[in-house]
Structure 1
Amino acid sequence: MTSPSPPAAASALKAVTLTHVRYRRGDSLGHFLAWVSLIPVFISLGGFVTHFLFRRELQGLCFSLGLLVSQVLNELIKTSVQQSRPDTCAALEMCDSHGWPSSHSQYMFFFAAYFTLLCYKGVVGVASPCSRLFLAFLPWPAAVLTLYSRVYLGYHTVAQVFAGATLGLVLGVGWFWIVNSMLAEYFPAIEESAVGRFLYVKDTSHIPNVLKFEYDNARAARKKLAQD
């Protein structure tokens, strides 16, 4: 366990209040990267929780389950390897935990890999190849910035973030294959089950353009309601 930092070093640090990710006072880049470091939190709470509440998509549920499994594996590996965080972490909070592999990097590269493959498969609600290509590229800058932020802010070494990124990439691709080659065939049965109908879960991955499909059906329902 690292020794407590001296008061002078601690006073030179400032926290992003939401989760106390620390950066040096007056460091604009550090402030920006501290918020970048919180992207996994925003994805989990703002993305997947909202997605389940309003969409109830089985593909999204499998996606979030994969991320959860990935993070559990990360903790198991950290506990087994027990590699310390870098010395630069001594003045930061929460640095009595292990550092290899980086969970932030693993999370973001899992997310980027799985999301890109969803775009390639066409399960993103748009049919245009250009739109799918744009969406497929979208998570990668955030993933790379998150990786960089963990080193810049002093929470991890370069080796630790690259280990997390590699593991996340492999797990993301592997989980996508498991879901879409093995589990997807059970989606119809889950939809028709008592629990599935109670929770209104559904699978729209077989629909080429979900946005247009829902738009057309919403308009048709409104017209029918007006006629009645």
Structure 2
Amino acid sequence: MAHPPLKAVTLTHVRYQKGDHLGHLLAWISLVPVFISLGGFICHFFFRRELQGMFFALGLIISHFISDFIKTLVQQARPETCIFLEMCDSHGWPSSHSQYMFFFAVYFTLLTFKGIGLTKVNHKWARCFLPWLLAVLTMQSRVYLGYHTVPQVFAGATLGIFLGAAWFWVVNYKLFNFFPVIEESRFGRMFYVKDTSHIQNVLEFEYDNARKARKEMAAKSN
């Protein structure tokens, strides 16, 4: 009895030519979306529980499904190098990696210039440089490693920029009004979900309050 072809989970399955140091570097850069998702947003949920970060992550998830839907609709093949990469069974337009990283870069930049939780931090342009650099390098890595064509990564970048800006507007000018309701809801109180968007500098606020609480505890114990 013939068995259907097997398909691997390709979460970190990125190939490059042996001995190609630039390809090796770009292969790791190509995994930046995985690091952001697993190391960034999952850790953020467990340790921070801030609504702004949770809706940021939700936007990335929604944009990923939109990208996959477009891929299925258009069904544009990947470049011929997909044979060596074992990726010919998936579509290439638009590039999901490019879409993810440019969504992240746009949303992060808009958050930074809106000053949510970071008002007193200077050099906003310098702080936004790294996300945009990683986005461009990720886009380049997908072409260099043979996973996408140039039009496919530019389509992904364009989609990411549009969805990132649109989702930022939805969250911060529409859904933002419901943040206090979510914070005070049964779900919010059960999982310690909070909104710190109204605090000018979250790090300074938490630092000062932690020191204040420790001093008060020390005073009570004496």
TM-score range (shorter-chain normalised) is over 0.9
Which of 139, 146, 151 aligns to 2:143? It is 151
**1:141 equivalenced with 2:141 (yes/no):** no
What's the counterpart of residue 30 of structure 1? Answer: 23
Encode CA deviations 1:19-38: one digit per residue, 9 max, x unaligned. Answer: 22000011000000000000
Which position in structure 1 is the counterpart of 2:159?
Answer: 167
**Runs of 4+ residues deviating >3 angstroms:** none
CA distance in 2, matches of 1:193, 1:222: 29
Q: In the aligned structure 1, how far is the partner of 2:11 from the partner of 2:101?
A: 19
After TM superposition, give the deviation of residue 124 of structure 1 in Å: 4.5
**Which residue of 1 is the match for residue 5 of structure 2?**
none
For residue 178 of structure 1, give the secondary structure of its aligned residue in structure 2.
helix
Unaligned 5+ segments in structure 1 are 1-16
The count of residues paired between Structure 1 and Structure 2 equals: 211
The CA distance in 1 between the partners of 2:144 and 2:152, in whole Å, is 13
Letter in 1 for 2:26: L
Partner of 2:102: 109
Q: Deviations over 1:150-172 (max 9, x none)?
A: 00000000000000000000000
Q: What's the secondary structure of 1:203's corresponding residue?
A: coil
Match for residue 52 of structure 1 among 45, 67, 72 = 45
- Aligned CA RMSD, in angstroms, stands at 1.3
Aligned to 1:64: 57
Q: Is the 8 A contact 1:95 1:155 kept in 2?
A: no
What letter matches 1:211 in structure 2?
Answer: L
Structure 2: gaps (5+ residues)? 1-9
CA distance in 2, matches of 1:150, 1:20: 13
Q: Does 1:205 align with 2:197?
A: yes
- Cα shift at 1:18: 7.6
Describe the SS at the equivalent of 2:16. strand
Identity, % of aligned pairs?
Answer: 68
CA shift for structure 1 position 126:
5.2
CA change 1:40–1:124 in 2 (3 A) is: farther
Distance 2:68 2:12 in 1: 19
Q: Give the Cα–Cα distance (whole angstroms) in 1 for the partners of residues 178 and 186 of structure 2.
A: 14
Measure how far apart 1:95 and its partner are: 2.8
- For 2:115 and 2:37, the matched residues in 1 are separated by 22
Give the direction of change, closer, same or farther, for the CA distance of 1:70–1:153 in structure 2 (3 Å limit). Answer: same
